[in-house]
Protein backbone atom coordinates (compact mmCIF):
# COMPACT_ATOMS: atom_id res chain seq x y z
CA UNK A 1 0.00 0.00 0.00
CA UNK A 2 1.36 3.42 -1.03
CA UNK A 3 1.34 6.01 1.73
CA UNK A 4 1.58 9.80 1.51
CA UNK A 5 3.49 11.71 4.13
CA UNK A 6 4.21 15.41 4.50
CA UNK A 7 7.26 16.80 2.76
CA UNK A 8 9.71 18.40 5.17
CA UNK A 9 9.45 21.73 3.31
CA UNK A 10 5.86 21.96 4.52
CA UNK A 11 6.42 21.50 8.26
CA UNK A 12 6.86 25.17 9.14
CA UNK A 13 4.11 26.47 6.87
CA UNK A 14 1.65 23.85 8.13
CA UNK A 15 2.48 24.66 11.76
CA UNK A 16 1.98 28.40 11.27
CA UNK A 17 -1.22 27.74 9.33
CA UNK A 18 -2.55 25.59 12.17
CA UNK A 19 -1.75 28.28 14.74
CA UNK A 20 -3.46 30.88 12.53
CA UNK A 21 -6.58 28.72 12.16
CA UNK A 22 -6.74 28.16 15.93
CA UNK A 23 -6.28 31.88 16.57
CA UNK A 24 -8.93 32.93 14.06
CA UNK A 25 -11.47 30.47 15.40
CA UNK A 26 -10.78 31.52 18.99
CA UNK A 27 -11.49 35.14 18.08
CA UNK A 28 -14.55 34.16 16.09
CA UNK A 29 -15.95 32.15 19.01
CA UNK A 30 -15.40 35.07 21.39
CA UNK A 31 -16.57 38.01 19.30
CA UNK A 32 -18.81 36.83 16.43
CA UNK A 33 -22.39 36.56 17.66
CA UNK A 34 -24.06 35.17 14.55
CA UNK A 35 -23.87 31.39 14.61
CA UNK A 36 -24.14 31.02 10.84
CA UNK A 37 -21.15 33.35 10.40
CA UNK A 38 -19.17 31.44 13.03
CA UNK A 39 -19.81 28.16 11.25
CA UNK A 40 -18.91 29.64 7.87
CA UNK A 41 -15.57 31.07 9.06
CA UNK A 42 -14.66 27.89 10.93
CA UNK A 43 -15.54 25.72 7.91
CA UNK A 44 -13.63 27.96 5.48
CA UNK A 45 -10.50 28.12 7.68
CA UNK A 46 -10.41 24.33 8.15
CA UNK A 47 -10.82 23.70 4.41
CA UNK A 48 -8.01 26.17 3.66
CA UNK A 49 -5.75 24.46 6.21
CA UNK A 50 -6.47 21.01 4.72
CA UNK A 51 -5.63 22.37 1.24
CA UNK A 52 -2.23 23.54 2.51
CA UNK A 53 -1.56 20.13 4.06
CA UNK A 54 -2.62 18.46 0.79
CA UNK A 55 -0.24 20.66 -1.22
CA UNK A 56 2.76 19.46 0.80
CA UNK A 57 1.99 15.75 0.53
CA UNK A 58 4.91 13.50 -0.39
CA UNK A 59 3.55 10.18 -1.61
CA UNK A 60 5.61 7.00 -1.55
CA UNK A 61 6.56 5.97 -5.08
CA UNK A 62 8.10 2.73 -6.36
CA UNK A 63 10.68 3.42 -9.07
CA UNK A 64 10.90 0.54 -11.54
CA UNK A 65 12.98 1.30 -14.60
CA UNK A 66 16.11 0.24 -16.47
CA UNK A 67 19.41 1.94 -15.49
CA UNK A 68 19.39 3.84 -18.81
CA UNK A 69 15.79 5.02 -18.53
CA UNK A 70 14.88 8.53 -17.33
CA UNK A 71 11.90 8.96 -15.02
CA UNK A 72 9.64 11.96 -14.52
CA UNK A 73 10.96 14.21 -11.75
CA UNK A 74 7.49 15.58 -10.93
CA UNK A 75 3.77 15.00 -11.18
CA UNK A 76 2.01 16.95 -13.90
CA UNK A 77 1.43 16.96 -17.63
CA UNK A 78 3.85 17.05 -20.56
CA UNK A 79 3.67 20.44 -22.30
CA UNK A 80 6.87 20.34 -24.40
CA UNK A 81 8.52 17.45 -26.24
CA UNK A 82 10.83 18.78 -28.91
CA UNK A 83 14.40 19.36 -30.09
CA UNK A 84 15.88 22.66 -28.86
CA UNK A 85 19.21 24.44 -28.51
CA UNK A 86 20.35 24.44 -24.85
CA UNK A 87 22.54 27.54 -24.30
CA UNK A 88 23.43 27.38 -20.60
CA UNK A 89 25.51 24.24 -20.12
CA UNK A 90 25.58 21.89 -23.12
CA UNK A 91 25.53 24.66 -25.74
CA UNK A 92 24.19 22.26 -28.34
CA UNK A 93 20.92 20.65 -29.40
CA UNK A 94 19.00 18.49 -26.93
CA UNK A 95 15.60 16.91 -26.58
CA UNK A 96 13.53 18.97 -24.15
CA UNK A 97 10.72 17.41 -22.13
CA UNK A 98 8.78 19.89 -19.99
CA UNK A 99 6.22 18.97 -17.33
CA UNK A 100 3.75 21.57 -16.05
CA UNK A 101 2.42 21.27 -12.50
CA UNK A 102 -0.90 22.74 -11.44
CA UNK A 103 -1.41 23.81 -7.79
CA UNK A 104 -3.19 20.47 -7.24
CA UNK A 105 -0.19 18.35 -8.24
CA UNK A 106 2.47 16.98 -5.89
CA UNK A 107 5.25 19.59 -6.00
CA UNK A 108 8.23 17.62 -4.72
CA UNK A 109 11.04 17.11 -7.24
CA UNK A 110 12.75 13.73 -7.66
CA UNK A 111 16.05 12.86 -9.32
CA UNK A 112 15.35 11.58 -12.86
CA UNK A 113 18.40 9.28 -13.01
CA UNK A 114 21.24 7.90 -10.88
CA UNK A 115 24.61 9.61 -10.93
CA UNK A 116 26.78 12.44 -9.65
CA UNK A 117 25.70 16.07 -9.58
CA UNK A 118 28.27 18.01 -11.64
CA UNK A 119 26.45 21.35 -11.98
CA UNK A 120 23.89 23.18 -9.84
CA UNK A 121 23.00 26.84 -10.22
CA UNK A 122 20.22 29.16 -9.11
CA UNK A 123 18.94 32.13 -11.15
CA UNK A 124 16.74 34.96 -10.02
CA UNK A 125 14.12 35.85 -12.57
CA UNK A 126 10.56 36.71 -13.46
CA UNK A 127 7.38 34.88 -12.49
CA UNK A 128 5.54 34.45 -15.77
CA UNK A 129 3.03 31.63 -16.12
CA UNK A 130 5.04 28.40 -16.08
CA UNK A 131 3.69 27.09 -19.39
CA UNK A 132 4.93 30.19 -21.27
CA UNK A 133 7.65 29.17 -23.81
CA UNK A 134 10.11 31.73 -22.40
CA UNK A 135 9.60 30.82 -18.72
CA UNK A 136 12.47 28.30 -18.87
CA UNK A 137 14.87 31.12 -19.76
CA UNK A 138 13.41 34.14 -17.95
CA UNK A 139 11.72 32.89 -14.77
CA UNK A 140 13.30 32.18 -11.40
CA UNK A 141 14.88 28.75 -11.80
CA UNK A 142 17.55 26.26 -10.83
CA UNK A 143 19.58 24.14 -13.25
CA UNK A 144 21.08 20.78 -12.28
CA UNK A 145 23.23 18.42 -14.37
CA UNK A 146 23.70 14.78 -13.38
CA UNK A 147 26.45 12.63 -14.86
CA UNK A 148 25.47 8.98 -15.21
CA UNK A 149 28.25 6.43 -15.93
CA UNK A 150 26.14 4.67 -18.58
CA UNK A 151 24.41 7.46 -20.49
CA UNK A 152 26.46 10.59 -19.81
CA UNK A 153 25.05 13.91 -18.65
CA UNK A 154 21.42 15.01 -18.44
CA UNK A 155 19.98 18.30 -17.20
CA UNK A 156 16.81 19.16 -15.34
CA UNK A 157 15.58 22.64 -14.51
CA UNK A 158 13.10 23.68 -11.81
CA UNK A 159 11.13 26.70 -13.04
CA UNK A 160 9.00 28.91 -10.79
CA UNK A 161 5.52 29.82 -12.00
CA UNK A 162 3.32 32.88 -11.63
CA UNK A 163 2.55 32.23 -7.95
CA UNK A 164 5.65 30.24 -6.98
CA UNK A 165 7.93 32.24 -4.74
CA UNK A 166 10.49 29.71 -3.56
CA UNK A 167 12.42 26.93 -5.26
CA UNK A 168 14.15 24.44 -2.97
CA UNK A 169 17.01 22.52 -4.59
CA UNK A 170 18.94 19.86 -2.65
CA UNK A 171 21.38 18.97 -5.45
CA UNK A 172 24.96 20.12 -4.83
CA UNK A 173 28.02 19.45 -7.00
CA UNK A 174 29.75 16.23 -5.97
CA UNK A 175 26.65 14.61 -4.50
CA UNK A 176 25.83 11.03 -5.47
CA UNK A 177 22.10 10.86 -6.13
CA UNK A 178 19.64 8.03 -6.62
CA UNK A 179 16.89 7.92 -9.22
CA UNK A 180 13.55 8.77 -7.60
CA UNK A 181 15.20 10.32 -4.54
CA UNK A 182 14.00 13.63 -3.04
CA UNK A 183 15.62 16.45 -5.01
CA UNK A 184 13.71 19.46 -3.67
CA UNK A 185 10.41 21.30 -3.82
CA UNK A 186 8.78 24.16 -5.74
CA UNK A 187 6.23 26.02 -3.67
CA UNK A 188 2.88 26.86 -5.29
CA UNK A 189 2.86 26.25 -9.07
CA UNK A 190 5.67 25.61 -11.55
CA UNK A 191 7.25 23.34 -14.17
CA UNK A 192 10.32 21.19 -14.67
CA UNK A 193 12.32 20.91 -17.91
CA UNK A 194 14.61 18.02 -18.82
CA UNK A 195 17.29 18.17 -21.52
CA UNK A 196 18.26 14.77 -22.90
CA UNK A 197 20.60 13.54 -25.68
CA UNK A 198 19.16 13.67 -29.19
CA UNK A 199 19.24 9.89 -29.57
CA UNK A 200 16.97 9.36 -26.54
CA UNK A 201 14.00 7.11 -27.26
CA UNK A 202 11.13 9.23 -25.89
CA UNK A 203 8.10 7.37 -24.50
CA UNK A 204 5.77 10.33 -23.87
CA UNK A 205 3.96 12.91 -25.98
CA UNK A 206 2.41 16.30 -25.24
CA UNK A 207 -0.56 16.16 -22.83
CA UNK A 208 0.54 12.85 -21.27
CA UNK A 209 0.17 12.84 -17.45
CA UNK A 210 3.23 12.02 -15.34
CA UNK A 211 3.86 10.70 -11.84
CA UNK A 212 7.11 11.84 -10.30
CA UNK A 213 9.37 8.91 -9.48
CA UNK A 214 7.34 6.44 -11.55
CA UNK A 215 6.56 7.55 -15.12
CA UNK A 216 9.34 6.58 -17.53
CA UNK A 217 9.99 9.42 -19.99
CA UNK A 218 12.49 7.69 -22.26
CA UNK A 219 15.56 5.51 -22.70
CA UNK A 220 19.06 6.80 -23.46
CA UNK A 221 21.38 4.45 -25.39
CA UNK A 222 24.52 3.60 -23.38
CA UNK A 223 27.65 5.54 -24.36
CA UNK A 224 30.66 3.58 -25.64
126 class by beta-carbon count within 10 Å (0-12 exposed, 13-18 middle, 19+ buried): middle
* Residue of 65, 98, 108, 190 marked catalytic: 190
* 149: Cβ contacts below 8 Å, ≥ 6 apart: 115
Please, how many CA atoms are within 13 Å of residue 39, restricted to the half-sphere of its CB? Answer: 3
**Angle at alpha carbon of residue 115, lines to 125 and 184, rounded to 5°:** 40
Q: Is 190 known to be catalytic?
A: yes
CA-nearest of 182, 175, 191 to 8 is 182
- Torsions phi, psi of 35, nearest 5? -65, -40
b vs e for 199-218, b when ≥16 Cβ sit within 10 Å of the residue's Cβ? ebeeebeeebebbbbbbbbb
- Torsions phi, psi of 150, nearest 5? -95, -40
Catalytic residues: 190
Amino acid sequence: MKVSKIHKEGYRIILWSLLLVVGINTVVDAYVTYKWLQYFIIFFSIVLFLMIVWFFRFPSRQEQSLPTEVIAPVDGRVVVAEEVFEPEYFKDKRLQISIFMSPLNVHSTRYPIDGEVVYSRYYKGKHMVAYHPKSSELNERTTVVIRNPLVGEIMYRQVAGIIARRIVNYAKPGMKVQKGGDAGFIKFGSRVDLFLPLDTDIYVVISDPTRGGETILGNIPPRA
